[in-house]
Structures are given as C-alpha cells and as structure tokens.
C-alpha cells in the first residue's frame, strides 16, 4: 500500500517479497516541476533510506521519480534564492546540509539501493543516482550537471565522483554542463544497466519473486542478475570514442585553454558544441570556482567532499551570480544573464580563496557524518 506525504512530495510503500521480507519503494511525486527537490523532499528521502537500512526485513530500497519526463531535475534553487533574499540564511544552509546528508546516506546504505532513473536527471537527481548500489538508466535518459548556468558549482558529492571518472570527463561535465545520454553515463560510472522504460514493472515483479537471503552482498548479486536479463546491449557512447579529446581536456592548464580545446573538438563533433555554448553562457565565477573545486577535491574522501561542498554552497548563495542565474533561467527566463565577471580571467583569485573558508564560526554542520565503510559503485 502506497502512502503519500503531500508535505514532502514523497510516496512510500513497503512491498512484501516473501519470508517476511520486503522492498521499500520511495517515489518522488512532483511531476509538475520535474520532481525537483525541496528540503522537505530530501529530508523525507533521507529518513526513509535510514529507516529501510535499519530494518532487517528490508532487502532492497527502490528509488524512482513520478511521471514520464524526469527522475529528478535537481534542487529547488528558486525557493533558495527567495528565502536568502528574505534574510533566512539558516534555512538555506539547512537545505544544502539536508541534501548532502541524504546523498551521503544513500552512498553508505548497507541495504542495496536501486535508482531507476528515467528522462531528465540533473543536479540533485544525479546525487541520488551516484550513491545508489544499482544505477539503472532508461534508454532515453539525459543527464547533466548544469550548475554553472545558475551561479553554483557541481555538488551533491560531485567533488568526489567527478574526480573518479575517466580523465577529462569530470571537467567536461562540471565546467561545460555536457549532456550525457545513457551510454555516456555508463562510461563515466553513473549507470550500470540501460533498460527500456516500459520494462519497469517487469523488473519490479521479477525482483519480488527472487529468493531473498537478507545478505546484502548476495542479494545485490541477485538484483544485478535480474537487471542483466532486462538490459539492452550497451552502446559505445561519444565519450568512449574520444579518448584523445578527453586527455587534452584533462591536461588543459586553465579554464580558457579548456574552452579552446573543447571549441576545436566541437568543429568535428556537434554534440560538443552544446557544451561550448553552455560554457559561454555560464557564470565565469562558477566556472573558475569549479576548476578550483575539482583540483582541491582530487584526493578527498567522500565525507570530506561533502564537507567542502557545504562550505562552497554557503558561500555561493552570498554571490550575486547565483541570484542572477536563478532570475534569468527560472524567474524572468530571458536567457540573458548579467554575470559579475566578464570572463574567467577577470575573476578575483582572492575571492575564490575566500569561498573555501567556512562562513560559520561554530563546528562544521556535517562533522558527524560517519566515515566511509562502504562506497557503493565507486570503491
């Protein structure tokens, strides 16, 4: 029986699978806004994942989004901008801290988490997907980290997982909001299996019929066998075909050089032109910040990455580019941002450094995250 919590946009259901065991289903139910995440939503997801992980009878946590268009298009940054302008800075910090706790909890869950990601998957949606043990993409899925468009930076653990992708891919996603198809996503580690969207019910029904053991590792192997049965042949994506370009992007000494390499590649590959356009329309400050973020986070643990991101997020909402990005994309929708800096070369290096210092004088809000014992899918 599904239970809907209208305050958090979450449907929950415990589905019996025999021997007293069950699957916990979590569905984001905000189809009209592409399942974007409010703070109440991420809090409810985090609570449900913890509840399922602590319940020995739960053998699988299934995470999905309602509707046909999107698993999750990211966080509700429009509301964040508004409440910050109203002076409620503590709520803004709480939003990011809650989201990062939830993402971290998905990464750390002992119970296998299966994310069924269809349609648009961006920002916060990728954060949930990245932490899942089973990353299932539909053939029409489209994934991106477009934070530079709104004066932010790739967060939700991206400091960690972008640095663990094939060389050059993390920069391409973070600095140029490259839009991946399912094949690209599997290449960079954000997908395990690609299935038809219409096979969702068949997959779920087959999982219900498994002989569940209650042993997370053995059950995860059984889940993967089911997914392999439904999986489509894995195609070779564009990124896998461009190792030389990716190597050059990885070796670029600065953002401007990165752009020139990408622009040259776009002459031979039309899909890279979209990435060049995203770079050119993005906030120069965000691009420069992302450049430094990826360099600083290269050797951080998952916990350290989330702790760094909370500092950066708290600083970003203080910067005018965040509010300008929200205005131009989500409020006025004029697609004509007026960024603070003309280009990445104009960005004040001292201001970038300040973004890496906490804006609070107390202890770090995420200091109590438990250290990694298991990192799903990236170990």
**CATH number of the domain enclosing 302:** 3.90.226.10
- What's the rounded mean pLDDT across residues 289-307? 97
Q: Is a pLDDT exceeding 60 seen at residue 374?
A: no
Number of other residues whose CB lies within 10 A of the CB of residue 32: 10
Is there a domain that residue 97 lies in?
Answer: yes
Q: What is the pLDDT of residues 15-73, one digit of tens each?
A: 999 888 999 999 999 999 999 999 999 999 999 999 999 999 999 999 999 999 999 99
Is there a domain that residue 216 lies in?
Answer: yes
Phi, psi angle pair for 278, to nearest 5°: -65, -40
pLDDT at 4: 60
DSSP secondary structure code for residue 41 in this structure: H
| Dist. CA 114–CA 117, nearest whole Å | 9
Q: Which residues constitute the domain of residue 198?
A: 3-354
| Dist. CA 114–CA 223, nearest whole Å | 9
CA 309-284-313 angle, 5° bins: 20
Q: Is a pLDDT exceeding 70 seen at residue 378?
A: no
Share of the chain above pLDDT 70, in %: 96
| Dist. CA 149–CA 167, nearest whole Å | 23
The β-bridge partners of 181 are none
Residue (of 30, 28, 31, 26) closest to 62 by Cα position = 26
Q: What is the pLDDT of residues 158-187, one digit of tens each?
A: 999 999 999 999 999 999 999 999 999 999
The residue assigned the tokens 């970038």 is 352
Is there a domain that residue 192 lies in?
Answer: yes
Is there a domain that residue 283 lies in?
Answer: yes
The overall longest dimension of the chain from CA atoms, in Å, is: 64
pLDDT at 8: 80
Is there a domain that residue 68 lies in?
Answer: yes
| Dist. CA 288–CA 127, nearest whole Å | 22
> Counting beta carbons within 10 angstroms of the beta carbon of residue 272, is it exposed (0 to 12), middle (13 to 18) or buried (19 or more)?
buried
- What's the rounded mean pLDDT across residues 143-165? 98
Three-state DSSP state, 214: coil
Number of domains in the chain: 1
- What's the rounded mean pLDDT across residues 279-291? 98
* pLDDT interval class at 379 (50, 70, 90): very low
Residue (of 168, 202, 207, 206) closest to 188 by Cα position = 168
Is there a domain that residue 35 lies in?
Answer: yes
Report the chain's mean pLDDT, rounded to a whole number: 94
Q: What is the pLDDT of residues 84-141, one digit of tens each?
A: 999 999 999 999 999 999 999 999 999 999 999 999 999 999 999 999 999 999 999 9
User: In this predicted model, which residue has the larger pLDDT, 338 or 5?
Assistant: 338
3-class SS string, 223-282: HHHHHHHHCCCCCCCCHHHCHHHHHHHHHCCCHHHHHHHHHHHHCCCHHHHHHHHHHHHC
- What's the rounded mean pLDDT across residues 197-214? 96
* pLDDT interval class at 283 (50, 70, 90): very high
pTM above 0.85, yes or no: yes
Is there a domain that residue 226 lies in?
Answer: yes
Q: Is a pLDDT exceeding 80 seen at residue 235?
A: yes
Is there a domain that residue 371 lies in?
Answer: no
pLDDT at 373: 42
pLDDT at 375: 40
């Amino acid at each position: 029986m599904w239970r809907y919590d209208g305050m958090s946009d979450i449907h929950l259901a415990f589905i019996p699978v025999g021997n007293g065991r069950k699957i916990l289903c979590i569905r984001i139910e905000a189809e009209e806004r592409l399942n974007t995440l409010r703070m109440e939503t991420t809090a409810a997801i985090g609570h449900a994942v913890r509840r399922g992980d602590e319940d020995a009878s739960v053998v699988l946590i299934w995470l999905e989004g309602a509707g046909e268009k999107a698993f999750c298009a990211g966080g509700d940054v429009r509301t964040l901008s508004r409440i910050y302008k109203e002076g409620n800075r503590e709520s803004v910090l709480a939003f990011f801290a809650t989201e990062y706790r939830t993402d971290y909890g998905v990464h750390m869950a002992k119970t296998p988490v299966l994310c069924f990601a269809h349609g648009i998957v961006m920002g916060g949606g990728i954060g949930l997907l990245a932490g899942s043990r089973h990353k299932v993409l539909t053939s029409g899925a489209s994934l991106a980290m477009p934070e530079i468009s709104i004066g932010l930076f790739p967060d939700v653990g991206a400091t960690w997982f972008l640095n663990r992708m094939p060389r050059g891919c993390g920069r391409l996603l973070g600095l140029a909001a490259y839009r991946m198809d399912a094949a690209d996503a599997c290449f960079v580690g954000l997908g395990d299996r690609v299935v038809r969207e219409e096979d969702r019910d068949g997959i779920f029904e087959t999982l219900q019929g498994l002989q569940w053991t209650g042993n997370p590792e053995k059950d995860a192997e059984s889940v993967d066998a089911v997914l392999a049965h439904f999986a489509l042949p894995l195609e070779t994506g564009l990124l896998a075909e461009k190792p030389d370009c990716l190597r050059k992007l990885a070796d670029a000494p600065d953002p401007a050089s990165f752009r020139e390499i990408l622009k040259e590649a776009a002459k031979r590959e039309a899909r890279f032109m979209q990435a060049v356009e995203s770079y050119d329309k993005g906030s120069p400050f965000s691009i420069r910040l992302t450049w430094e973020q990826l360099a600083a986070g290269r050797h951080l643990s998952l916990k350290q990455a989330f702790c760094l991101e909370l500092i950066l997020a708290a600083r970003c909402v203080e910067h005018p580019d965040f509010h300008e990005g929200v205005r131009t994309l989500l409020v006025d929708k004029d697609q004509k941002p007026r960024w603070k800096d003309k280009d990445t070369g104009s960005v004040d290096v001292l201001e970038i450094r300040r973004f890496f210092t906490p804006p609070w004088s107390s202890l770090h809000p995420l200091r109590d995250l438990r250290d990694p014992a298991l990192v799903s899918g990236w170990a």
